[in-house]
Chain A
């Protein structure tokens, strides 16, 4: 996810070389903040002189002793994660591939890509068993080219997952369970990607998308975001509109998970009220611990428990510590403890938001560091069953139930509702009430198909009549 708190200074990027398009007012600029571009960590190496070695040892002794205990917890964490590899709810690597490499993944090596939080080796070190990759496009594309840009992000994710044998694209809960690789799934981040069209939801589902965040940092014509200050789209929307409720219903029918990260509390409450399936927060934390608008207040956590849904705790430092400088693994663990108290450990998962957020807690700098979090929770007394739950079992429960709702909806008709034109009118949305170019087929000339009497009968009758004439003549 992108930085929400300040209006960023914008850079323009080179357009994709494979597109030679005249700029139109319906093409978004895809302007990214410098903060969106991941900064490469610089590691500093200390050199130790032999004559200072004894002093160094004295200084380091307490740490050495503590680290022995840590090592045990770390060992247990790793063992646990080997048995129950993590399903992470949200990762923006695809956005970085766009920003840094214009989606030209043939030119890079995802095994050890150094410029991102995420690469395949780090995922393996972090015992990641499944990852939801975010197909995200900026809100500035709303009412412009959001659909095409979203398709391009889905395309780069699919290409990435097919070009590396360590990755495997799946679309079901069973697919995650069966995979011996890193299972890849797709989530769309923001309802602006469907351009107010239920057909688009169905198309994205067909392409393998299995969750949609109802908003990103902008309102859509039918849903309200938690970030009010960044964009001025549809300022009067409150929660979910009538059409927004149809979106939620169609997502239930299709089996697409409803993601409430980035939505306002009103939107979240409305969705929880009508959804027949459990919902998710793919990357959000606890409002009571840090009162950031991206986080989930206690009453919604309680509703989520009744809904049997899941909040996948996120690691973005601004959402964890509300301005505190010292943000570390313990800060993250506080959120886990709180949500466990309010909604039970079965309501918790992990959604790191790597390669989307700008800064991460000390100790959780990239996707290889997940074991550090499990280690901390072990220290706090979380038991193995609870930890396997947050690593994967809770999410799988939610996904299976969403799939069950889909199966139970088989007799339901496809939702053919449309948003009212006045709710969504804009200059890049064509009004097809007049009919250009394609002539209307039948209004000028009614089609006469068969006259109703089979031609065989006509020709048979004629033949018989003529035969009779012939016979008479002869």
Chain B
């Protein structure tokens, strides 16, 4: 009996190491594209976007979830960098602040050309992989960044932005955010307003992905109804496993699967386990759940590193 258990332990431990090796082998060929990383926000907070200072050296950076060595170890082949500005900038200087974040992302690519390639197409992502660089793309996190202007939206597209999260944690004049599904706020637009639908249509026309992380459930269903292109959730997990309103309920997951979208699972403990601590297995549970409801082709990673504390 004892021999049996010990033999089993040997086999299990041996195969565990092999699984990790297998994972790494897979990722060498197919590195991860992560849907959402807030390093640019940390660069603003910690260094005022002064990439030239010694402390901001991305090869030696400490105190953040993200650095160049960590991206390499994690086999990250593509990263959407969030050009995020707080909701407090709405109706103030949101547009300028967002453009400054786009500028810092562009400068990251210029300053570290061996490691980053700022790209704006799927072909560009593949080219970056071949050149051994992390394909760097830009997402705007919150419709407040466009100040209700389709002209501004088009200019963001020209600057390389390839997704926009329709809200952060505040309503815009044309769409409701996730907080209206809690007791904290009341719905204002009941999903998308008339202008909100124009925004989605224009995003489809331009080829900018519609990101439904942070939006209310009604917004999710409105967008899924009218969007002619597949949508994404750049950093959201499964509501059925952790009933946090930042997560995606099963009925929405089903439609996402049918419409060939992707849910990029968020690793933030509070959204994974609905508590302050979580483990890797619980994250995997979310991946399994999205796979079960929406199909494996609807699953992705959206770690939210450097955007959340745990």
Query: B304's closest neighbor in chain A, by CB?
Result: A441
Query: Given contacts A148-B149, A437-B169, A441-B64, is CB(A432)–CB(B13) below 8 Å?
Result: no
Query: Given contacts A151-B149, A197-B96, A447-B64, is CB(A442)–CB(B309) below 8 Å?
Result: yes
CB <8 Å contact, A436 and B42: no
Which of A156, A414, A432, A455 is the one whose CB lies under 8 Å from B20? A455
A65 at interface, CB cutoff 8 A: no
A7 at interface, CB cutoff 8 A: no
Interface string of B1-33 (1 = CB under 8 A from A): 011001101100110110011000000000000
New contact pairs (5) apart from A19-B195, A199-B103, CB-CB < 8 Å: A151-B149, A418-B48, A437-B168, A466-B6, A469-B10
Contacts A/B (CB < 8 Å), 23 sampled: A20-B174, A20-B194, A21-B147, A147-B95, A147-B96, A148-B152, A151-B95, A155-B152, A195-B93, A197-B99, A199-B49, A200-B99, A200-B100, A206-B158, A414-B52, A436-B88, A438-B41, A441-B64, A441-B308, A443-B309, A445-B310, A463-B13, A469-B10
Which of B45, B198, B307 is the one whose CB lies under 8 Å from A18? B198
A437 to chain B, nearest CB (A): 5
CB <8 Å contact, B159 and A19: no
Please indicate the chain B residues that have their CB under 8 angstroms from the CB of A451 in the complex: none
Query: Given contacts A467-B10, A470-B7, is CB(A199)–CB(B86) below 8 Å?
Result: no
B229 at interface, CB cutoff 8 A: no
Query: Given contacts A207-B159, A437-B86, A442-B65, is CB(A459)–CB(B309) below 8 Å?
Result: no
CB <8 Å contact, B309 and A152: no
- Of A22-30, A54-62, A318-326, the one contacting chain B is A22-30
Give chain B interface residues in 136-152, CB to chain A under 8 Å: 147-152
In the assembled complex, the Cα of A151 lies from the Cα of B148 at a distance in Å of 12
Interface string of A221-243 (1 = CB under 8 A from B): 00000000000000000000000
Query: A16's closest neighbor in chain B, by CB?
Result: B149
In the assembled complex, the Cα of A103 lies from the Cα of B150 at a distance in Å of 11
Please indicate the chain A residues that have their CB under 8 angstroms from the CB of B159 in the complex: 203, 206-207
CB <8 Å contact, A26 and B103: no
Query: B97's closest neighbor in chain A, by CB?
Result: A430
B301 at interface, CB cutoff 8 A: no
Query: Given contacts A414-B110, A439-B309, A442-B64, is CB(A473)–CB(B6) below 8 Å?
Result: yes
B193 at interface, CB cutoff 8 A: yes
A413 at interface, CB cutoff 8 A: yes
Please indicate the chain A residues that have their CB under 8 angstroms from the CB of B48 in the complex: 418
A108 at interface, CB cutoff 8 A: no
A210 to chain B, nearest CB (A): 15
Which of A195, A203, A432, A441 is the one whose CB lies under 8 Å from B65? A441
In the assembled complex, the Cα of A473 lies from the Cα of B154 at a distance in Å of 71
CB <8 Å contact, B93 and A414: no
Please indicate the chain B residues that have their CB under 8 angstroms from the CB of A202 in the complex: 103, 106
Taking Cβ atoms with an 8 Å cutoff, the residues of B that contact A are: 2-3, 6-7, 9-10, 13-14, 16-17, 20-21, 38, 41-42, 44-45, 48-52, 63-65, 70, 73, 84, 86-89, 91-93, 95-97, 99-100, 102-104, 106-107, 110, 147-152, 154-155, 158-159, 168-169, 173-174, 193-195, 198, 305-310
A408 at interface, CB cutoff 8 A: no
CB <8 Å contact, A470 and B6: yes
Please indicate the chain B residues that have their CB under 8 angstroms from the CB of A462 in the complex: 13
How many residues of chain A get a CB closer than 8 Å to chain B's CBs?
A: 62
Which of B20, B52, B110, B155 is the one whose CB lies under 8 Å from A151? B155
Interface string of A420-451 (1 = CB under 8 A from B): 00000001111010011111111111110110
CB <8 Å contact, A148 and B3: no
Please indicate the chain B residues that have their CB under 8 angstroms from the CB of A207 in the complex: 155, 158-159
Which of B13, B52, B65 is the one whose CB lies under 8 Å from A416? B52
CB <8 Å contact, A155 and B155: yes
CB <8 Å contact, B99 and A147: yes
Query: Given contacts A151-B155, A203-B103, A414-B110, is CB(A440)–CB(B309) below 8 Å?
Result: yes
Taking Cβ atoms with an 8 Å cutoff, the residues of A that contact B are: 18-22, 24, 26-27, 103, 145, 147-148, 151-152, 154-156, 158, 195, 197, 199-200, 202-203, 206-207, 413-414, 416, 418, 427-430, 432, 435-447, 449-450, 455-456, 459-460, 462-463, 466-467, 469-470, 473-474
Please indicate the chain B residues that have their CB under 8 angstroms from the CB of A440 in the complex: 45, 309
- The listed residue with most B CB atoms (<10 A of its CB), out of A20, A24, A469, A474, is A20
B68 to chain A, nearest CB (A): 13
Please indicate the chain A residues that have their CB under 8 angstroms from the CB of B2 in the complex: 473
Please indicate the chain B residues that have their CB under 8 angstroms from the CB of A450 in the complex: 73
CB <8 Å contact, B65 and A463: no
CB <8 Å contact, A435 and B45: yes
In the assembled complex, the Cα of A199 lies from the Cα of B107 at a distance in Å of 10
In the assembled complex, the Cα of A52 lies from the Cα of B36 at a distance in Å of 83
Query: Given contacts A26-B92, A442-B64, is CB(A19)–CB(B149) below 8 Å?
Result: yes
Query: B158's closest neighbor in chain A, by CB?
Result: A207
| A-B pairs, 10 with minimum CB distance | A152-B151, A155-B151, A199-B103, A459-B17, A24-B91, A199-B100, A151-B155, A148-B95, A148-B147, A147-B96
